């Protein structure tokens, strides 16, 4: 994670925000008295929230674990070539 002081952040707010959005890399803004904060793009924030939702949902995590286990055993769903072609036709 990149870091910048609050004074440098204040002086270059637009470029910092643009870079965080373009690079999808969070920016930690440090302050002398602590209470640092992080700048992330809205898209990255939404993805983080979705990930947290999935990780906190025990039922969903069980389904993912079962799906992964069946996939590694070769027992999972295997679409036909026709179904794959249809799925890949955007």
pTM for this prediction: 0.68
pLDDT tens profile 3-54: 999 999 999 999 999 999 999 999 999 999 989 999 999 999 999 999 999 9
Q: Structure tokens of 73?
A: 């055993």
Q: Structure tokens of 52?
A: 């947290």
- Torsion (CA) 29, 31, 34, 36 in degrees, nearest 10: -20
Closest Cα to residue 37, out of 68, 1, 75? 1
Residues in CB range of 7: below 8 A, 6 or more apart: none
- Torsion (CA) 67, 72, 75, 77 in degrees, nearest 10: 50
- Kindly tell me if the per-residue pLDDT of 55 is higher than 90: yes
Closest Cα to residue 1, out of 34, 26, 38? 26
pLDDT tens profile 56-87: 999 999 999 999 999 899 888 888 999 999 98
Token pair 């637009």: residue:
14
DSSP at 14? H
Give pLDDT, residue 90: 63
């Amino acid at each position: 994670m990149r870091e910048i002081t609050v004074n440098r952040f204040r002086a270059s707010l637009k470029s910092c925000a643009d870079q965080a959005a373009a690079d999808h890399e969070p920016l930690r803004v440090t302050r002398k008295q602590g209470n640092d904060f992080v700048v992330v793009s809205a898209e990255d924030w939404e993805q983080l929230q979705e990930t947290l939702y999935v990780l906190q949902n025990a039922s969903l995590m069980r389904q993912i674990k079962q799906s992964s286990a069946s996939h590694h055993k070769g027992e999972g769903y295997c679409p036909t070539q026709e179904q794959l072609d249809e799925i890949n036709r955007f």
